[in-house]
């Protein structure tokens, strides 16, 4: 990365993506007191951690809360190549100028947005450290490359998600990080509630939705016995969407649920048998 010459310390609004506010209410079915807790944390400037298996509504919930609180939402899907620069920003050469571009985190801090770091443990360890000053009483983001110290406005809020299901030491979150957050536990909703969500999101009738949820519940029993994790609501919604398009349920479930879940032949066949049994 080239060092800037001081005259080129331009503001980069031209390059940075503008922050957007969610206009239409994202459908979210609350399953506990998560709406109240999140709103209270937002009002107190506290960061929030959403814990739970994949596809159980964490991302949807954040979208819904951003809409409710009328704050822009910046979502970052964390992965193992995610660097601090990807989050905070970097210098770019634009024409013959060196210009700074805010990363999504910096943009969210400046704009008083909700910044959602999805699957935070996937990111490299050094990346998690940059969020620390934002999660305590400092509520600030040091942008070292620019020698800038940005104090977060009251509307800025940090939200992270974390799936404790993957039993891997490497994917554990350190206490020094986790103890900074107000935590909300997410789990698959009760069967009837989940069927309502699947029917609504997938555009299928109640009977089909109930069967999809029954299948999902059966696959969740195989966690640790052939599957790392059972089918989340998301996979059930995907299958529902295929069925709504006219695909036969067994074909839809095989493509949207069984294949994404398992590679190992015995487990794949067991899932095939479950699909055939439920439909």
Partner 1 sequence: MSERKLFAHELEARLDELLLLTLRQRSAALPAAQLEALPRQQQERVLHWVGIAAQTSTELGWAIAQRAGTRAAQPGFALDDWARAGLEAHDAGGLAAAQARLDEYAAAAPDSASAARGVTFAAVEGRLAGFLHALDGRPMQLRCGPRTWTDGETLWLPESLDLAADAAGNRRLYTVIAALLWAQARFGTFNVDPEPELVQWADRDTALDWFSLFEGMRLEARLALDLPGLARDMAALRGPWPAELAPVAARLARPEASAADSLACMAELRRVGAGDTAHPPYRTTLDPLAARRLRAARIARDAGTLRRALNIMRAIDPHSRGGASDSEYPPLAADGDSVPAELQSGDLQGLPPDARAAAQSLAQDLDGIPPELLRPAGPGAWRPEDRDEGDGAVAAASGEPDALYDEWDYRRGAWRRDWCHLYESEDRPGNTPGSMRCAFATRT
Ligand X SMILES: Nc1ncnc2c1ncn2[C@@H]1O[C@H](COP(=O)(O)OP(=O)(O)O)[C@@H](O)[C@H]1O
For partner 1, the binding residues (CB under 8 A) are 214, 218-219, 221-222, 225-226, 263, 265-267, 269-279
Is residue 201 a contact point for ligand X (CB under 6 A)? yes
The span from the CA of 251 to the CA of 249, in Å, is 5
Residue 229 binding partner per list partner 1, ligand X, Mg ion, none, with a CB distance cut-off of 5 to 8 Å that depends on partner kind: none
Nearer to Mg ion, 102 or 118 (CB): 118
Nearest to 84 by CA among 128, 48, 115: 128
Shortest distance (Å) from residue 278 CB to ligand X: 19
The span from the CA of 273 to the CA of 185, in Å, is 32
Is residue 237 a contact point for ligand X (CB under 6 A)? yes
User: Which residue of this chain has its Cβ atom nearest to ligand X in the complex?
Assistant: 57
Phi, psi of 149 (to 5 degrees): -125, 105
Residue span 16-55 as binding mask against ligand X, x where in contact by CB under 6 A, dash where not: -----------xxx-x----------------------xx
Residue 114 binding partner per list Mg ion, partner 1, ligand X, none, with a CB distance cut-off of 5 to 8 Å that depends on partner kind: none
Q: Which of 41, 42, 49, 58 binds ligand X (CB under 6 A)?
A: 58
Q: Which of 51, 53, 56, 59 binds Mg ion (CB under 5 A)?
A: 59
DSSP letter at 153 equals P
90 SS3 class:
strand
Nearest to 199 by CA among 25, 24, 29: 29
Residue 270 binding partner per list ligand X, partner 1, Mg ion, none, with a CB distance cut-off of 5 to 8 Å that depends on partner kind: partner 1
The span from the CA of 181 to the CA of 235, in Å, is 29
Q: How far is CA 177 from the centre of its chain?
A: 17
Nearer to partner 1, 138 or 221 (CB): 221
Nearest to 240 by CA among 10, 55, 8: 55
Half-sphere exposure of 83 (CA within 13 A, CB side): 4
3-class SS shares of the chain: helix, strand, coil, % to 5: 45, 15, 40
Residue span 217-256 as binding mask against Mg ion, x where in contact by CB under 5 A, dash where not: ----------------------------------------
Binding site for ligand X (CB under 6 A): 27-29, 31, 54-60, 189, 197, 201, 233-234, 237
Binding site for Mg ion (CB under 5 A): 59, 118
């Amino acid at each position: 990365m080239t060092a800037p010459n001081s005259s080129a310390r331009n503001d980069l609004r031209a390059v940075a993506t503008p922050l957007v506010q969610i206009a239409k209410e994202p459908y979210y079915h609350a399953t506990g007191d998560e709406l109240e807790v999140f709103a209270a944390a937002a009002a107190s400037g506290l960061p929030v951690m959403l814990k739970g298996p994949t596809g159980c509504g964490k991302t949807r919930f954040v979208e819904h809360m951003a809409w409710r609180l009328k704050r822009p939402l910046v979502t970052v899907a964390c992965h193992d190549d995610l660097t601090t620069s990807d989050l905070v920003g970097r210098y770019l050469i634009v024409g013959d100028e060196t210009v700074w571009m805010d990363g999504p985190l910096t943009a969210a801090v400046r704009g008083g947005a909700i910044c959602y770091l999805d699957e935070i443990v996937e990111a490299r360890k050094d990346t998690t450290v940059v969020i620390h000053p934002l999660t305590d009483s400092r509520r600030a983001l040091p942008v070292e490359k620019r020698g800038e110290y940005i104090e977060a406005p009251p509307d800025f809020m940090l939200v992270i998600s974390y799936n404790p299901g993957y039993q891997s030491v490497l994917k554990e979150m350190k206490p020094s990080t986790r103890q900074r957050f107000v935590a909300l536990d997410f789990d698959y909703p009760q069967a009837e509630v989940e069927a309502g969500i699947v029917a609504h999101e997938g555009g299928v009738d109640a009977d089909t939705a109930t069967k999809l949820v029954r299948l999902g519940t059966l696959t969740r029993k195989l966690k640790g016995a052939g599957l790392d994790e059972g089918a989340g609501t998301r996979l059930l919604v995907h299958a529902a969407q295929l069925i709504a398009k006219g695909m036969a349920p067994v074909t839809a479930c095989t493509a949207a649920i069984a294949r994404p879940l398992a590679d190992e032949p015995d487990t794949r066949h067991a899932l095939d048998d479950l699909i055939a049994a439920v439909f």
